[in-house]
Structure 1
Amino acid sequence: MEKVKKPIIIGVTGGSGSGKTTVSRSILDRLPNTSIMILQQDSYYKDQAHKTMEERREVNYDHPLAFDTDLLVEQLNDLLHRKSIKQPVYDYKILTRSNEVIEQEPKDVIILEGILILDDERLRNLMDIKVFVDTDDDIRIIRRIQRDTKERARDLDSIISQYLATVKPMYHQFIEPSKRYADIIVPEGGRNQVAIDLLSTKVKSILKNHENNTNID
């Protein structure tokens, strides 16, 4: 039977505004000739089409129950077995899934990015490398304000209210404790070029070792 190379999964987590996306994209940029993709946990917020807009606004989006983790685990396993997936698309303006999906083909490297990916044991068990991006609270809230006002059409009062009500407490209850599962902790997010270089080198090493990988079951 022809051998099929099993993809590797790199989990990149940290609080909202920590620099997860910058770290993920920096790894991607350092592996230009590699079959690589970024899969964001945010795409897997639960479908809320059955709820009113008022009910959707009341949801705690920083709690593990806000995510359809069963679907994420299922689709990651499909990618690991070299099967394509139909990734959901989440619309932040209407606070539920779009009718569209993204056809994702399997890649050799999957960067899984999200605030709560280390909270779930099933996800952790799928990862080859687990990274926690550790950034000061003040920097994270400033970045969140900048992002949500520009990209998600939100006003300042609603951003601050949500941060105090759910984002900050959920960080301390669920996200920060998951740091203990990380293989690598990256201080200062995307500004830490040394850590990103080391991560990229490690990924290259794993890929090289995977050249004679065993069959996928």
Structure 2
Amino acid sequence: MNNKPFIIGIAGGSGSGKTFFLNCFLHHFKNDEVTLVSQDDYYIPAGEMTQEENKLYNFDLPSTIDDGQFLRDIQKLIGGEVVYKKEYNFNNPLAIVKILEINPAPIIIVEGLFILHFKEIGELLDHSIFIEADEQVALERRIKRDGMERGYPEDDVLYKWKNHVVPSYHEYLLPYREQCDRVIRNNSNEADEILKISEDISIELREQYCK
């Protein structure tokens, strides 16, 4: 890789539909055209916890992320190196730990809650996208996801939402909204709108960086 990759940052609060947008976006590229680095894989392991401990532990703080390693791995990808990283299993002791192979590519997507808050990571971004949704829509998505994918009781989800998720969003993410190049509202659960937006952005980028 002789040219510096184009770095896209995608930030958004919990339940904003960030993952769905990402999946739609990535669908428009070949595997060797784009690579993804996710903040979720840089959580500092908190060890095994009881359900009550998990409920009270605040995962929605920048201090829970190994931002130093996150930054170093992004820099390696920019330099054309392959990154090997353990996939984070959300403190599930039954989960099989996978080793991720993250390959350099002309377009690098960096996504996560705090990518704009981490100054050195934010400075690497060539283009930033902020995904948002109304709070009630985001909460309903969070309840559904945490119940289906992680088996969390609704009371625990509501506790975390009120005490962890919303305060963190207002302190560590929302202040950077106006600095982003694009703001995408994602209140609809219909795929067509997000597919169209992601297609338009991907066509523009492929023409410039994937020739």
Question: TM-score, length-normalised on structure 2?
Answer: 0.86
Shift of 1:30: 1.9
Other structure's SS at 1:173 match: helix
Query: What residue is the counterpart of 1:7 in the other structure?
Result: 5
Cα distance per residue 1:92-142 (max 9 Å; x no partner): 2438x9754312221222211111111111111111110001211111111
Aligned residues: 205
Residues of 2 paired with 1:68 and 1:98: CA distance? 21
Aligned-pair identity (%): 26
Q: 1:16 aligns with which of 4, 9, 14?
A: 14
Query: What residue is the counterpart of 1:113 in the other structure?
Result: 111
- Partner amino acid for 2:200? L
Residues of 2 paired with 1:45 and 1:135: CA distance? 24
Residues of 2 paired with 1:21 and 1:132: CA distance? 12
Residues of 1 paired with 2:15 and 2:65: CA distance? 19
Query: What residue is the counterpart of 2:204 in the other structure?
Result: 202
Whether 2:70 is the aligned partner of 1:72: answer yes
Deviates more, 1:190-199 or 1:143-152: 190-199
- Partner amino acid for 2:5? P
Q: 2:134 aligns with which of 136, 140, 163?
A: 136
Deviates more, 1:72-81 or 1:109-118: 109-118
Say what the alpha-carbon RMSD is for the aligned residues.
2.4
Other structure's SS at 2:183 match: strand
Asked whether the equivalents of residues 83 and 105 of structure 1 are also in contact (C-alpha less than 8 Å), the reply is yes
Residues of 2 paired with 1:57 and 1:33: CA distance? 37
Query: What residue is the counterpart of 1:215 in the other structure?
Result: none
Other structure's SS at 1:65 match: helix
Asked whether the equivalents of residues 90 and 98 of structure 1 are also in contact (C-alpha less than 8 Å), the reply is no
Query: What residue is the counterpart of 1:36 in the other structure?
Result: 34
- Partner amino acid for 2:202? S
Query: What residue is the counterpart of 1:102 in the other structure?
Result: 100
